[in-house]
Amino acid sequence: DSGVTQTPKHLITATGQRVTLRCSPRSGDLSVYWYQQSLDQGLQFLIQYYNGEERAKGNILERFSAQQFPDLHSELNLSSLELGDSALYFCASSVVSASYNEQFFGPGTRLTVL
């Protein structure tokens, strides 16, 4: 157990819908990262937050947005869902934004868009 929690574990929804994925980082970690992993694909970096502020953006679609709250948990919002959005979404956290600190991954949320 990495200490990073994600809810829900599984999510099944229809095209056009909107969902929210939640992540709670390890205690003390200020940075949260979101990744998308499609079937048999690598880990695509979406976005990073550090202490409530957006720090880096990757290949995140305009239909997707995220935020980090004062208690440091983060939410990833996916809207106007398409079949191709079906994937595993991982959240990771680390102590600080810079330096060599390890990123700890959560168990992931498996999103299925029908």
Partner 1 sequence: GENVEQHPSTLSVQEGDSAVIKCTYSDSASNYFPWYKQELGKRPQLIIDIRSNVGEKKDQRIAVTLNKTAKHFSLHITETQPEDSAVYFCAARNTGTASKLTFGTGTRLQVTL
- Location of structure tokens 């979404």: 89
60 vs 61 by CB, closer to partner 1: 60
Helix (H) or strand (E) holding 23: strand 19-24
- Asked if 44 and 74 count as a contact pair (C-beta separation under 8 A), the reply is no
Nearer to partner 1, 33 or 85 (CB): 33
Q: What does the alpha-carbon distance between residue 48 and residue 32 come to, in Å, rounded to a whole number?
A: 6
Binding site for partner 1 (CB under 8 A): 2, 31, 33, 41-45, 48, 55-56, 58, 90, 97-100, 102-108
Query: Which residue's CB is nearer to partner 1, number 42 or number 70?
Result: 42
CB of 40 to partner 1, least distance (A): 9
Q: Minimum CB separation from partner 1 for residue 49, in Å?
A: 11
Give CA–CA dist 104/76, Å, rounded.
17
Contact criterion met (CB below 8 Å) for 110 and 88: yes
Output the smallest distance, CB 80 to partner 1, in A: 25
